[in-house]
Chain A
């Protein structure tokens, strides 16, 4: 970690006014990452586990709702009867020619025989039990009329359309489209849940990672600062202890450290005072140049330098 730079504003007594920097956020990797990854991991696990559950239920709900929508009856389009317009006209039947004995007689009122093509009699294999009479009748030649020209007017098949047919068609297709839209809306709702879950999960993970590192930095920061002072103290330097930055945690712990530091400085000062008294007394007694006194002076100088 780089040493924080001095802030331009006037700091409070004991404040150095260091500002937090993004570069220095990860001071104590082991501690900070352990806590941050725990938070992020737990949230991811919860989001993923419950998210899968949510999607499972949402899929079920969508399927049920879609089935319900599909089961909604729409008004049917009435079927048009093509034969309704030609009902009055009788089916075209082949003309029945008079038999040889009946020549010159007017056609009778008896219903005509079925058309040749449609009649079972036209079947080349006569039905069993029909008798030889029927077989004989089949063998008789039939007359075929070919109409080259006719003055008859050919009428097309007239289809009768109910008066509300248009409304019913519109109603049917409106209903079909509405149901289709409802099914689409259900599918969109399902996808929306999925996207919201994924988006929220990603935001949560990123947000928590950043927040976790910032939060743990407020603990790791004071520890780092104390570690720097501990290093100095280890080398025998007991210079001034500055305050923590605003928002830092471990304020009480830092107060304990400051007291300890002050206690060690006090020890050094007491040593200096006692040694100075001995040196002064020795000098007064005329032993100022004694080797031991010289040695004591060196100790005093070292101790004074340490607490500067």
Chain B
């Protein structure tokens, strides 16, 4: 899956994030958090299946009872007349085929319901799993010290409030890190200037040089990670 957190650099390689790329939902990407999504999808689907199955069976049972009652009455009415046997059989087979057709209809509707419901729930849960997935990607970046810009969620996504909290935190940490980097950069410059002007002790001066060089490298890396 493509990285939803990736921010494309602007033209000329500047660090200002370009307008966020328009990521489209793909069918293959709908199952982002299998455990979370399948749990809910299966629960609702099985529940609907059980309700539809139980009530469908009740409908069939009642219908069959009515048919059997009619068949029985018809049989008792026509038993004295052998010429009516065909008629009785015709009516009985008609009722039976009607009942069977009802079962097929109900099974079809049930299967359709389960499929439509599963797809709908998959989309619905994706709107929760999507933002979580995106935040997870940002978390992975933060874990390695990368604090790039955070792009907003797609329209229709859920957990907007949570995402805003995350974005505020991310922005605050990033701003603070940028401020620290600027402060350290300034401090580094001042210390280098004062080192040239002041008469620092020989060995200590070499150590200070080394420490300042380390800090310089560290700041360069930090700036890179904040880009």
Contacts and interface: CB of A to CB of B under 8 A. Distances in A.
Contacts of B172: 233-236
A260 interface: yes
Given A50-B51, A259-B143, A227 B215 contact: no
B150 to A, nearest CB: 12
B141 to A, nearest CB: 8
Interface string A72-96: 0000000000000000000000000
A249 B208 contact: no
A215 B39 CA distance: 10
A270 B44 CA distance: 49
Contacts of A39: 43-44, 47
B208 A264 contact: no
Contacts of A215: 40, 43
Contact of B143 (A235, A253, A260, A295): A260
Contacts of B183: 295, 299
Interface of B: 33, 35-36, 39-40, 43-44, 47-48, 51-52, 55-56, 58-59, 62-63, 65-66, 69-70, 72-73, 117, 124, 128, 132, 135-136, 138-145, 158-159, 161-162, 165-166, 168-169, 172-173, 176-177, 180, 183-184, 187, 190-191, 194-195, 198, 200-201, 204-205, 207-208, 210-212, 214-215, 218, 222
A278 B187 CA distance: 10
Interface in A260-281: 260, 262-264, 266-267, 270-271, 274-275, 277-278, 280-281
Nearest to A51: B55
A42 B44 contact: yes
A169 interface: no
A160 interface: no
A233 B169 contact: yes
B177 A267 contact: yes
A275 B215 contact: yes
B168 A234 contact: yes
A114 interface: no
Interface SS majority for chain B:
helix
A46 B207 CA distance: 78
Contact of B218 (A28, A68, A274): A274
A278 B55 contact: no
B207 to A, nearest CB: 5
Contact of A46 (B33, B48, B69): B48
Name the 6 nearest CB pairs between A and B, nearest first: A260-B139, A263-B143, A50-B55, A260-B142, A285-B204, A61-B66
30 contacts: A28-B161, A39-B44, A42-B48, A43-B51, A47-B51, A47-B55, A61-B62, A64-B70, A65-B65, A204-B51, A230-B165, A230-B168, A230-B169, A236-B172, A249-B35, A253-B135, A256-B139, A259-B140, A259-B142, A260-B139, A260-B142, A263-B144, A263-B145, A266-B145, A274-B214, A282-B208, A284-B204, A284-B208, A285-B207, A287-B198
A54 interface: yes
A50 B59 contact: yes
A43 B48 contact: yes
